[in-house]
Structure 1
Amino acid sequence: MSAKALLKLGMVGGGQGAFIGAVHRAAARLDGETALVCGSFSRDMANSVETGEALSLSADRCYSDYAQMLATETGAGESIGKPDNALECLSIVTPNDSHVAIAKDAIARGIHVICDKPAGVSLSEVEELAALLNGSAASYALTHTYLGYPMVWQARHIAAQKSFGPVRKVVVNYTQGWLASQLEKEGSRQASWRTDPKRSGPAGAFGDIGSHAHSLVEFITNSRMNSLSARLSSAFADRALDDDGEARFNLDNGATGTLIASQICAGDENTLTIRVYGENAGLEWHQMEPNTLTERAQGGLVTVHRAGADKPLCEEALARCRLPSGHPEGYLEAFANLYRGFAHAISQGITPAQAGIPGIAEALRGMAFLEAAVASSENDGAWTDIKAPSVGPDLKGLLS
């Protein structure tokens, strides 16, 4: 029997000293669905080679220029003398301002793309990316990590049941404390680019973690956010982007909600919590206790749903569990579910949405949300419509 064909993965970004690149690599290899074959990990060639060699890559497959990597590694692989090991999919883990340019270059060469969120720094550039994708043989995925958790899928399943009743209210809070001081003035590379509008885009905390909260609301409720009233601010007069914000919002299904995204909550680590209330019950999920979903019925009955491959969960949640109950699975496993799903989508010739993976539709809605939030805040919190970007029939997302 022939060995299973692995998806050949390259990476842009994620060199020595970076955070999220190592997380992507760990997630990608967890299920044995991908193989890292090349990387442009840093503009510093020494850093790129050092990173690659630590990952068992030869120096000739490490680059300081992603464009050179794409030119060398694509096609049948003759240029590298390894036609069975040629690049098929690119993982983009760079700052936001380069996401779209790199993705467009890869897609134009027929290379699939899995990109860190948000998709870019403006809705217009992401719309250009969507236009390029429409009709392309390449696929695109966006790593909204929390959509990989089994209990998030269970929450979506329960919220859709008649017994839960129509969704009426959503409350989502995502708070961290890492920017409670001005780390950008203390040599932090992460803080430096995330507080720079040229690299991060129009929003700071809202772009970094508010985008996750937005995607979680839309996914669990299976409804699009259509308007909002937002206030974004910074704790420091000379910090150019928001580090704190909140928004009221409306959903297409008639529900209303509130969203808080803040990185100045001293002492908070990664406190993402969502509560969804229907006519007859409410749901509550905490990212820092991801294997538990609490359902509270109006009559007082409380049901605690627990993750585990041996639990009575919906099919979609069970498909994202690897272990029996009592064996905690968390962030890396959720991230790995995205990589595994994307690999399956590519091998089976289906769309990311059909594999349960966020893609270009989610990328467009996320950027539309961020631009509406910034516009509303600049207009003293005025209610602002969130643009509903049009996508082709082959690019529909996870919202049915």
Structure 2
Amino acid sequence: MDSKIRLGILGGGGDSLIGILHRIASSMYDQYQIVGGVFNPVWEENIGFAKQIGIPTNRIYLDFDKMIEEELKLPLSERMQVVSVLTPNFLHFPMAKKLLESGFNVICEKPMTTSYEEALVLNDTLKNVNTVFAVTYTYTGYPMIRQMRQMVADGVIGKVQKIDAQYYQGWINPIIHDKDLRANTWRLNPEKGGISCCIGDIGTHAFDMLEYVSQLKIKSVLADLNYVYDDNKMDVDGTVLLRCENGVKGVICTSQIASGEENNFIVKVYGEKAGLKWEQENPNYLYLMQDGEPLKVLKPGHSYNSSISLDGTKLPPGHPEGIFDSMANIYKGVARAVNGEKYDEGEFPTMIDGVRGMSFIEKAVESHINGNIWTDI
């Protein structure tokens, strides 16, 4: 354990998908050891969950402030080195800010904050401390997404002409059509979720992903959002047109009311010579499309892939990898940064990704409210 990074976790208790995802991902490369945290604001559930998953209870704290207070009393050799923030959106900013100010490295769920203003404050805070900050845009950890990014950078598809992302889910259907449920769900409460539900939750994934694989900056957006009901204050569906640097245009289509859809995230980049397409529900396949040529399918683990793709591949070709592996690759990159090792800038999303994500969310909502007009990021 002495050689492992000491990890604390905030939130993610009970049957939380995010909690399971982070805990398993952190263990995959044998570089982290969970030493404590606050899994739930209710003490009985907090301590009970720690016992359930086998975490020693001496560093399970009553609340976040108590955790900071007690951890800072410990010598550096015993103190938590990294803290993962897996709480509802409205807690991301105050927790991350205090963690940074107290000298902890931070892994934060997205959206990073509930406002662009908070994101800027957090960015300024990071500039004044010597710590690592990562935002878990999880899908950037997939080996074939990293291969896609490298192929675009290497000019395999030629000059980028169009970028396109679709992210469709249907999970909010049972909630949005029930007046009581939609009024009592935190994701549809602006005080807890921020100004956007769909764009803030999954649209920001699409935005970050398109900038990640194309390595272009999106400069302005035109959004048309759907709230379904007049008493619902947060979008659950939306389409956003994009204008990028170098004249490249694109589109993001997102929905949480796409009936029957599970987690249908598709990313496409089209160049003057070829196109690349990746589908999250079939993440081991990267499609290379060329006019007049047969469709080519690239798969992880083969020597024809880039070094960053192969570094994120744990198994031989033909053995499927998935969302846990993708998140684990982000944790792996953070571990390298925390340990002072050399790492590729594409190994984990940083504070800047989080800041740009918050700007995208606010500008998309602003564009819609102002009559679907072009709005600069």
Q: Does structure 1 residue 15 correspond to structure 2 residue 13?
A: yes
State which drifts further: 227-236 or 269-278: 227-236
User: Match of 1:395?
Assistant: none
Q: Secondary structure at the match of 1:136?
A: coil
The partner residue of 2:238 within 238, 241, 245 is 245
Deviation string 1:327-375 (CA, Å, 9 cap, x unpaired) is: 000100001101111011100266x863621111101100011111000
Q: Does structure 1 residue 315 correspond to structure 2 residue 307?
A: yes
Residue type of the partner of 2:33?
A: A
User: Match of 2:171?
Assistant: 178
Q: Secondary structure at the match of 2:285?
A: strand
User: Match of 2:349?
Assistant: 358
Percent identity, aligned pairs only, is 33
For the 8 Å contact 1:173–1:272, the answer to whether it is kept is: yes
User: Match of 2:334?
Assistant: 342
Q: Distance in 2 between matches of 1:186 and 1:52?
A: 35
Offset, 1:85 = 3.4
State which drifts further: 235-244 or 250-259: 235-244
For the 8 Å contact 1:183–1:192, the answer to whether it is kept is: no
For the 8 Å contact 2:200–2:361, the answer to whether it is kept is: yes
For the 8 Å contact 1:74–1:88, the answer to whether it is kept is: no
For the 8 Å contact 1:167–1:279, the answer to whether it is kept is: yes
Deviation string 1:81-106 (CA, Å, 9 cap, x unpaired) is: xx743211110000111101001111
Offset, 1:275 = 1.3
1:227-306 maps to which residues of 2 (within 5 A)?
227-306=220-299
User: Match of 2:364?
Assistant: 373
Offset, 1:184 = 9.1
Offset, 1:137 = 1.3
Q: Distance in 1 between matches of 2:232 and 2:251?
A: 25
Offset, 1:254 = 2.1
TM-score w.r.t. length of structure 2: 0.95
Offset, 1:237 = 3.0
State which drifts further: 190-199 or 322-331: 190-199
- Root-mean-square deviation (CA, aligned residues, Å) is 2.0
The partner residue of 1:145 within 132, 138, 143 is 138
Offset, 1:235 = 2.3
Residue type of the partner of 2:10?
A: V
Q: Distance in 1 between matches of 2:357 and 2:63?
A: 28
For the 8 Å contact 2:182–2:188, the answer to whether it is kept is: no
User: Match of 1:26?
Assistant: 24
Q: Distance in 2 between matches of 1:188 and 1:11?
A: 29
User: Match of 1:331?
Assistant: 323
Q: Distance in 2 between matches of 1:187 and 1:358?
A: 37
Residue type of the partner of 1:379?
A: N
Q: Distance in 2 between matches of 1:65 and 1:190?
A: 27
Q: Distance in 2 between matches of 1:328 and 1:141?
A: 26
Q: Secondary structure at the match of 1:375?
A: helix
State which drifts further: 128-137 or 326-335: 128-137
Q: Secondary structure at the match of 1:181?
A: helix
Q: Does structure 1 residue 224 correspond to structure 2 residue 217?
A: yes
User: Match of 2:36?
Assistant: 38
Q: Secondary structure at the match of 2:225?
A: strand
User: Match of 1:398?
Assistant: none
Q: Secondary structure at the match of 1:121?
A: coil
Residue type of the partner of 1:67?
A: D
Q: 1:26 to 1:184 in 2, by over 3 A?
A: farther
Q: Does structure 1 residue 193 correspond to structure 2 residue 191?
A: no
Count of aligned pairs between the two proteins? 377
State which drifts further: 297-306 or 61-70: 297-306
State which drifts further: 321-330 or 248-257: 248-257
Deviation string 1:51-75 (CA, Å, 9 cap, x unpaired) is: 1112222333112311101110135
Offset, 1:175 = 0.2
For the 8 Å contact 1:169–1:278, the answer to whether it is kept is: yes
Q: Distance in 2 between matches of 1:253 and 1:160?
A: 15
Q: Runs of 5+ in structure 1 lacking a partner?
A: 78-82, 387-400
Offset, 1:312 = 1.4
Q: Does structure 1 residue 108 correspond to structure 2 residue 106?
A: no
Offset, 1:279 = 0.3
Residue type of the partner of 1:85?
A: E
Q: Runs of 5+ in structure 2 lacking a partner?
A: none
Q: Distance in 1 between matches of 2:144 and 2:87?
A: 29
For the 8 Å contact 2:35–2:56, the answer to whether it is kept is: no
Q: Distance in 2 between matches of 1:75 and 1:161?
A: 49
User: Match of 1:6?
Assistant: 4
State which drifts further: 153-162 or 211-220: 153-162
Residue type of the partner of 1:344?
A: R
Q: Distance in 1 between matches of 2:173 and 2:196?
A: 17
Residue type of the partner of 1:51?
A: F
1:47-196 maps to which residues of 2 (within 5 A)?
47-77=45-75, 84-182=77-175, 192-196=185-189
Offset, 1:197 = 0.7
Q: Secondary structure at the match of 2:124?
A: helix
Q: Secondary structure at the match of 2:55?
A: coil
